[in-house]
Amino acid sequence: MARWRNRFAALARTGLPEAFGCPVPDAERIWIDEQLIWLADEFGAQAFQGPVVLPTAEFFPEQYQGTLEDAARLLDRVAGYLGVESRRIDLEVYSAAQLPGVAGHYQLRNGRPVISIERGRLDRAGSVIAVIAHELCHDRLIGEGRIDPARREDHERLTDLLGVFLGLGVIQANHRTEFSVTGGGLRVSRLGYLTEPMYGYALARHAWLRTEYDPGWAAHLDLGPAGQYHRARLYLDTQG
């Protein structure tokens, strides 16, 4: 932990410009580095050493047909990867008209965590996994009393970063931007609060901290996130 702190402190002081190849500006780079230290303090460095969860049958072996029961099974899986007891969590769906533009929602109802997913997403397993991961990370931060969202305006971004820290970053990055065909043509939607370049940098820093120089999981990144990841990795390999 001390080694990470010393290396991050040195990087923060240098303020190396984006011209060196980092996909994010200094303010975002420093925020990610500082919050990864905070997360390591909160959850322990061992939490950072778990497997990187991939959208493969190894991690999600069950058949998925888009039912609420299927989503509940994904919740069980993702909860296990994130260190959450799924039996504590209630899962429900809502219509797009009820919460326009909202992919998922986390709340405490009578002291019990409730995760809600927009019904139209149920037919996309990857999207469901990404939404569940984000909302379960809310539970780890807010439900466990680690942060007060009213006091942290960056709490949504921190929630996404916790997903990267705990190993769900590949799936989250791949579903940061989603495309679907509707009656009106191509629809673009965005999940989460980290930008694609921020995901790329956070994943590259994740690998760098774990001394993974050519991690196999990077091959599972989609084209956009992969480009940001490799740019960030080159930056970190040359600048530290």
The tokens of 194 are what? 């980290």
Mean pLDDT value of segment 73-81: 98
Exposed/middle/buried for residue 139 (C-beta within 10 Å: 0-12, 13-18, 19+): buried
Q: What is the pTM of this model?
A: 0.88
Kindly state the greatest CA–CA separation across the chain: 55
- Identify the band that residue 89 occupies on the pLDDT scale cut at 50, 70 and 90: very high
Distances in Å between the Cα of 58 and the Cα atoms of 54, 117, 152 are 8, 24, 36
Compute the distance between CA of residue 72 and CA of residue 57 in angstroms, rounded to an integer.
17
What's the chain's average pLDDT?
Answer: 88
SS3 188: strand
* Residue 54: pLDDT over 90: yes
Provide the β-strand partners of residue 93. Answer: 117
Comparing 32-36, 42-46, 144-148, the range with the smallest average pLDDT is 42-46
* Residue 183: pLDDT over 70: no
Mean pLDDT value of segment 202-214: 94
> Comparing 43 with 189, which gets the higher pLDDT?
43
Note the pLDDT of residue 19.
43
> Comparing 70 with 101, which gets the higher pLDDT?
70
Exposed/middle/buried for residue 184 (C-beta within 10 Å: 0-12, 13-18, 19+): exposed
* Residue 31: pLDDT over 90: yes
Contact 159, 137 (CB under 8 A): yes
For the chain, what percent of residues have pLDDT higher than 90? Answer: 75
Compute the distance between CA of residue 79 and CA of residue 76 in angstroms, rounded to an integer.
5
Comparing 76-80, 133-137, 183-187, 235-239, the range with the smallest average pLDDT is 183-187
- Identify the band that residue 180 occupies on the pLDDT scale cut at 50, 70 and 90: low
Mean pLDDT value of segment 179-199: 69
15: left (phi over 0), alpha (psi -120 to 50) or beta: left
Cα atoms in the 13 Å half-sphere on the side-chain side of 6 = 3
Residue in the block written with tokens 């959450």: 84
* Residue 204: pLDDT over 50: yes
Note the pLDDT of residue 239.
82
Provide the β-strand partners of residue 82. Answer: none
* Residue 219: pLDDT over 80: yes
The tokens of 174 are what? 């791949």
Contact 33, 201 (CB under 8 A): no
- Identify the band that residue 165 occupies on the pLDDT scale cut at 50, 70 and 90: very high
Compute the distance between CA of residue 179 and CA of residue 228 in angstroms, rounded to an integer.
19
For the chain, what percent of residues have pLDDT higher than 70? Answer: 86
